[in-house]
Amino acid sequence: MKLEGFLFDLDGVVIDSEPYNDKACALLLETFGKKYDRDAVKPLMVGKSDVEGMEILVKYHKVPISGSEFDSLRRENKKHFYEEEIPYMKGFLGFYSKLLLNYPLPVAIATACNKEYFDLIDKRLKISELFNNKIFRSDTVARHKPYPDIYLHSAKQIGINCESSIVFEDAPSGIVAGLRAGARIVALTTTFSKKVLLENISKILGEKLNLERILFINDFSDENYSKLTKFLEKNGFE
């Protein structure tokens, strides 16, 4: 099978935003006298739109406002983080450069990050430039992750088939979206442990997971790059 391209989630894969997103939620929950139960609620939130994620969060923590209201209240903190602080994931730029040097194929970002936050961080990190302006957001498709729409749409836009692509993800809903789109997955265990990912992927799918379609890596090291090349060979990619 000929490898056709690479699709990347943004938050937690290309940029190290998840600790900052957690901080924004935790700080605001404290004002309501609540403690952020990250391990329980975050796997359900990621990959959703901001408002959808906050609806899950306020319902779980029994906060007496809507998800939309909560999202509006945390916006200034998030804007500051995206504009001033969030960096690329450690090792990502070197890994990405090496990947495209050896596999000069189409690439795209498929993300639930809203345009306001993306534009702020893009001005500083030049992400659009790095991905040849192939940035596709979930608000352009009918259904968000774990549905496959955003990956199918992104693949179509850059002229590749999902079945012949690799999706880089860090969240259960995103991994399921990639699997449902027919892609092979590189799953980062930086936001969630492998155990948490497997538990939540299985819950979403409601069926036994085919682990042969997923490579778990814990960072963007040279060692994990070597694992990726072996994963490609194992899956029959040229």
Q: Which of 14-18, 63-67, 74-78, 155-159 has the lowest mean pLDDT?
A: 74-78
The answer to whether residues 186 and 166 touch, using CB atoms and an 8 Å cutoff, is yes
Residue 189 burial (10 A CB sphere; 0-12, 13-18, 19+): middle
pLDDT tens readout for residues 83-116: 999 999 999 999 999 999 999 999 999 999 989 9
pLDDT tens readout for residues 10-65: 999 999 999 999 999 999 999 999 999 998 999 888 878 889 999 999 999 999 99
Do the two domains 5-16+87-234 and 18-85 of this chain adopt the same fold?
no
Second CATH level (architecture) for the domain 5-16+87-234: 3-Layer(aba) Sandwich (3.40)
CATH 1.10.150.240 fits 18-85, yes or no: yes
Six token digits for residue 134: 């192939």
Give me the helices (H) in 126-164, please.
127-130, 149-157
Measure Cα distances from 107 to 94, 143, 168 in Å.
16, 22, 11
Amino acid (1-letter code) at residue 163: E
Domain segments of the chain: what residues?
5-16+87-234, 18-85
